[in-house]
Amino acid sequence: MLDPNDEADRFPDNKRDGKMSEIQEIISSVEGSVGRIHLNNPKALNSLTSGMCETMHELLGAWRDDDTVGAVIVTSEGERAFCAGGDVRQVSSAGQEDPVAARRFFQIEYAMDTAISEFPKPYISLIDGIVMGGGLGISVNGRYRVMGDNIMAAMPETGIGLLPDVGATAFLNACPGRTGLYLGLTGARLDTADAIYAGFGTHHVASDKHPALLDALINADYAGDRFAAVDAVLEQYSSPAGDSKLEALQRDIDRLFAADDMETIVAALQEDGSDVAKRALDEFGHMSPTSLKMTARQITSNPGISIRESLILEYRLVCQVLLRHDFYEGIRAALVDKDRNPQWKPATLAEVTSSYIDEHFESLGDQELVLN
């Protein structure tokens, strides 16, 4: 289990070993009427490469049009992580050589996320352990997100000079009250009950029941109403996740994160002095000031946005991030040198001007993301 208070667990090391090309990172099969996608690189915490995203996209395209496939189930190898996100270390390396070419990873990943969000059949993720960033992209964007007992979920991108992406503009806006803004800015880590309260999970099924649940889903009758078939199985296996600490903080979060701009939010936190305020301010001390201001605008300016629209917006932002300093510095500090001491540029919120943030949101013209 990860320690949610351990700085080293803020960004788990998903470094891929030199034998990665020999590993089949995704194992796919059709069992009965169910298409199965199994993430198969536990040493890298099942983090997503462009090849894995491309494979998933191709599988979903084939199974969407295959009448013999009634549902898709996504599982993962190993107990520690469902999926720790995208392989940002590799993206950083590629971006330093050619930031335009590095866009390709996000093009492929976002096309996959779109296919998941618009998949017309039941798409079921069986999740346990770490699920962050891109791992939430391949689960939250689907219809059913079944969570085990050991969830550690987060969108920690502001801590590496990035932004909550993979559709987060939409699914963070769908969280209760101002919770999505709080999660996107602070990268707060959620347990199972918290993740279900936030809407990241749809069901809790005890971890030791996941194998039996998988068998029941594979053997379900998908000849009729496919979604009703899945609902019936999940009703049989699911149970309450317990009390959510996040829910208990809802009033404080709504009050402290009521503003749309970082300066007002920080002032409210400093004036309040409660534990939740102190923790948020401490988290902000680790984050890229540019990422914080960009994320605040990204989330608060787009209520009701669709997943597809989110991904187009997030691609625009990512393309700007790849041209600038903070993402590469964030990866260096968190995952390469691991000194946990990023030198952000600009270094403070006060130095991040509105015009600088405006630049991130400018249209890419004929370079905008096209999702078919």
Q: Where in the sequence numbering do the catalytic residues fall?
A: 86, 134, 157, 165
Contact (Cβ atoms closer than 8 angstroms) between residue 305 and residue 358: no
Count of residues making up the chain = 372
Contact (Cβ atoms closer than 8 angstroms) between residue 182 and residue 253: yes
Q: What is the 3-state secondary structure (H, E, C) of the chain?
A: CCCCCCHHHCCCCCCCCCCHHHCCCEEEEEECCEEEEEECCHHHCCCECHHHHHHHHHHHHHHHCCCCCCEEEEEECCCCEEECCECHHHHHHHHHHCCCCCHHHHHHHHHHHHHHHCCCCCEEEEECCEEECHHHHHHHCCCEEEECCCCEEECCHHHHCCCCCCCHHHHHHCCCCCHHHHHHHHCCCECHHHHHHHCCCCEECCHHHHHHHHHHHHCCCCCCCHHHHHHHHHHHHCCCCCCCHHHHCHHHHHHHCCCCCHHHHHHHHHHHCCHHHHHHHHHHCCCCHHHHHHHHHHHHCCCCCCHHHHHHHHHHHHHHHCCCCHHHHHHHHHHHCCCCCCCCCCCCHHHCCHHHHHHHCCCCHHHCCCCC
For residue 26, list its beta bridge partners. 39
Task: Give me the phi and psi of 132, to 5 degrees please.
Answer: -135, 155
